[in-house]
């Protein structure tokens, strides 16, 4: 089950209203919704103004957290996500303020859906330590240099920060749910699972492994090309790992007087791979035969030294 990290302040709780009220009361500035995002707000109220806002937030955190509203539909989406994902609350709150977040979640009956609540100054480190597949956060600064994929909860933000091969954008909680349910943020997984040496490999259904793609514009085209480059790299890494197995196999065969070639096994394997490829939606036996004949020939060369 994939592990999903979810931020608290601004992602589960709606901090837009408080920031708007603070800006009017303390700066005499009316902010639009997207201008409450950290980077934009700093441009408007300045570094000193933003620092002052953070001080007020820290000093009155218990009251602010207690009075903060949840984002629309978060209470409906989280229980559904928890059926298929392991949810972790990952917040930059220090330990002294984690309790307020826990109380807020418990108040709305949501705490039970989280496997753990983690305070982390470095979210990248926390995601790596917890083996998180995807982090959901409203602060785009937290989404850079992550060891996983991410969803920027943009809150209707109109800033030009396009989808990339590692970050998608959602404007509301149903959008977050849709991305996660359609495969975005899924942890890397093999195309098959080997149950036992003598058992055939088992491929999961196509709709649980392959996700649909749509190229509608230049941005989508660039993203698709980036995905292809990443897949090609993984393909080469997989082939390299496969060839590394040739040496111990060759040693075993030599020690036990076994021939390098096993035509019966090769035929059965190619047949099985053809069936697996068909289950994934691609019916091309000639291609699979040619592909694996090349792979097997290279393996035999490696075994023969």
CATH 3.40.50.2000 fits 206-303, yes or no: no
CA distance 294 to 296: 6
Structure tokens at 211: 């996700």
Assess contact for 65 and 104: CB atoms under 8 A: yes
How far is residue 270 from each of residues 235, 241, 247, 295, measured CA to CA in Å?
18, 19, 22, 11
Same fold across 3-11+70-181 and 206-303:
no
- Helix, strand, coil tally for the chain in percent (to 5): 55, 10, 35
CB atoms within 10 A of CB 155: 19
SS3 label, residue 203: coil
What pLDDT does residue 164 have? 56
Give, as one character, the DSSP assignment of residue 9. B
CATH of domain 3-11+70-181: 3.40.50.1000
- Can you give the residue ranges of every domain in the chain? 3-11+70-181, 13-67, 206-303
Using an 8 Å Cβ cutoff, are 154 and 139 in contact? no
Sheet (strand 149-153) strand order: 114-119, 86-91, 3-6, 134-137, 149-153, 167-170
Longest distance between any two alpha carbons in the chain, whole Å: 86
Measured CA to CA, the distance from residue 25 to residue 90 in angstroms comes to 30
Helix (H) or strand (E) holding 260: none
C-beta of residue 101 within 8 angstroms of C-beta of residue 89: yes
Along the 305 residues of the chain, how does pLDDT read in single tens digits?
A: 899 999 999 899 988 888 888 988 898 887 776 678 777 788 888 889 999 998 988 888 888 888 888 988 999 999 999 998 999 999 988 888 889 899 999 999 999 999 999 999 899 999 999 999 999 998 878 887 889 999 988 875 544 454 556 788 888 899 899 888 876 655 443 332 222 333 333 333 333 334 444 556 666 677 678 778 877 888 888 888 888 877 788 888 888 888 878 888 888 889 888 888 887 778 888 999 999 999 888 887 777 76
CB 27 within 8 A of CB 43: no
**Could you give the CA distance from residue 255 to residue 260 in angstroms, rounded to a whole number?**
12
Q: Judge contact between 5 and 88, C-beta under 8 A.
A: yes
- Give the pLDDT confidence score for residue 256 in this predicted structure: 86
- Is this prediction's pTM over 0.85? no
Q: Report the relative pairing of strands 149-153 and 134-137 from DSSP bridges.
A: parallel
């Amino acid at each position: 089950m994939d592990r999903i990290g979810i931020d608290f302040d601004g992602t589960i709780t709606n901090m837009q209203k408080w920031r708007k009220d603070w800006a009017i009361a303390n700066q005499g500035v009316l902010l639009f919704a997207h201008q409450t995002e950290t980077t934009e707000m700093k441009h408007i109220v300045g570094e000193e103004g933003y620092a002052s806002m953070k001080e007020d937030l820290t000093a009155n955190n218990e009251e602010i957290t207690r009075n903060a509203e949840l984002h629309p539909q978060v209470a409906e989406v989280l229980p559904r996500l928890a059926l298929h994902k392991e949810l972790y609350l990952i917040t930059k709150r220090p330990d002294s303020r984690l309790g307020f977040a826990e109380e807020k979640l418990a108040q709305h009956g949501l705490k039970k859906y989280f496997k753990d609540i983690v305070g982390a100054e470095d979210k990248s480190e926390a995601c790596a330590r917890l083996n998180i597949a995807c982090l959901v956060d409203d602060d785009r600064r937290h989404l850079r240099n992550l060891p996983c994929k991410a969803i920027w909860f943009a809150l209707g933000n109109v800033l030009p920060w396009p989808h990339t091969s590692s970050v998608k954008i959602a404007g509301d909680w149903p959008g977050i749910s849709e991305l996660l349910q359609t495969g975005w943020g899924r942890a890397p997984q093999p195309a098959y699972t080997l149950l036992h040496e003598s058992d055939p490999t088992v491929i999961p259904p196509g709709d649980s492994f392959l996700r649909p793609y749509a190229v509608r514009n230049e941005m989508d085209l660039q993203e698709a090309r980036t995905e292809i480059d990443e897949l090609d790299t993984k393909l080469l890494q997989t082939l390299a790992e496969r060839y590394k197995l040739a040496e111990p196999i060759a040693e075993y065969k030599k020690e036990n007087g076994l021939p390098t070639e096993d035509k019966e096994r090769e035929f059965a394997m190619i047949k099985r791979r053809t069936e697996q490829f068909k289950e994934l939606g691609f019916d091309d036996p000639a291609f699979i035969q040619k592909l694996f004949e090349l792979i097997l020939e290279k393996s035999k060369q490696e075994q023969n030294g």
